[in-house]
Chain A
């Protein structure tokens, strides 16, 4: 069964050869079938396609040989991972210090500050006897200091 497709103009067909060359597998998928059909019936387009094929032939000569090995890539990944994760021989304190690096360290420093504000705004006051003890501790009795 023949699939339906939108016909394309000669000008668009030429654009496709100029951009993608003569091999149908490189043509835009949605225009491939229409172009192949147009090409079969147009000697002018066949001439343009033949010119494009000449350049394709030259381009095909450039075939570098990839040589990178999967092993080398995996080794590089292992090295990179080792550089990013804490060493196994480090102490728990060092491990914690690495863990709380960067923004975590800043967040940790904010904890007592936030706790202080929370306590300050909560309206809770120390018990009376504690306040009295503090008062006596901080205000030394004058009679002890005097010579009398």
Chain B
């Protein structure tokens, strides 16, 4: 990242190549819409390029720092969407989230059920679960990204898995 902060595009391309799939996977699962997720990941890279000198390798891992940027952008987007929907339509946010999931990402029934159950989780529960389960990040990194304690992340995970299990059992 030192080379990136000096404007080395080749070094930056290597970093992008290495981390983009994970960041996009995270954003797709959190936003449940691939086109939006790609916009968020693009914006993540623009910010990483512009703020490369702010990255402190002694403080956090590069993947944690990048996930933190993506997470902040996703949360901003989700809150904006929720705010817009509150004034625009009476339908619940999770319904439209599920619809977009089905259109963009999910092609199988089992996956549709799972994404519906995921969409029913709170944004924080979903984030904790995605970062821990799919991104396979250590609990300390997840806590850093979400600006929470490890205990708080664990309790979000327990509630998320419990709710998923109940929802999936009810639907099957």
A8 vs chain B, min Cβ distance (A): 14
Q: Is the CB of B157 within 8 A of A61?
A: no
User: Which range holds the interface residue count of chain A?
Assistant: 20 to 34
Q: Is the interface of B mostly helix, strand, loop or mixed?
A: helix
A76 touches B34 (CB 8 A): no
Contact with A along B130-172 (1 / 0, CB 8 A): 0011101011000000000000001101100110110010000
Is A116 close to B, CB under 8 A?
no
Cβ–Cβ contact A73 & B42, under 8 A: yes
Judged by a CB distance under 8 angstroms, whether A68 is at the interface is yes
Give the contact-size bracket for chain B: 35 or more
CA distance A26 to B49 in the complex (A): 31
Q: Is the CB of B42 within 8 A of A61?
A: no
Interface flags for B35-69 (1: CB within 8 Å of A; 0: not) read: 00010011001100110000000000000000000
Binds B, one of A17-25, A39-47, A95-103, A128-136: A17-25
CB of B168 within 8 A of CB of A68, answer no
When distances are taken between beta carbons in the complex, the residues of chain B under 8 Å from A68 are 20, 24, 38, 41-42
Would B158 and A15 count as touching, CB distance under 8 A? yes
> Does A58 have its Cβ within 8 Å of any Cβ on chain B?
yes
Let me know if A74 and B115 touch, CB within 8 A. no
Q: How far is the CA of A61 from the CA of B110 in the complex (A)?
A: 8
Min C-beta distance of B122 to chain A, whole Å: 16
* Shortest Cβ distance from residue B8 to the other chain A in the assembled complex, whole angstroms: 12
Other A-B pairs beyond A26-B133, A62-B114, A70-B20, 19, CB < 8 Å: A15-B158, A18-B157, A18-B161, A20-B132, A21-B161, A29-B138, A55-B164, A55-B168, A58-B114, A58-B168, A61-B108, A61-B114, A62-B115, A66-B21, A66-B28, A67-B24, A70-B13, A76-B45, A77-B9
Q: Which B residues form the contact surface with A (CB < 8 A)?
A: 9, 12-13, 16-17, 20-21, 24-25, 28-29, 34, 38, 41-42, 45-46, 49-50, 105, 108, 110-111, 114-115, 118, 132-134, 136, 138-139, 154-155, 157-158, 161-162, 164-165, 168
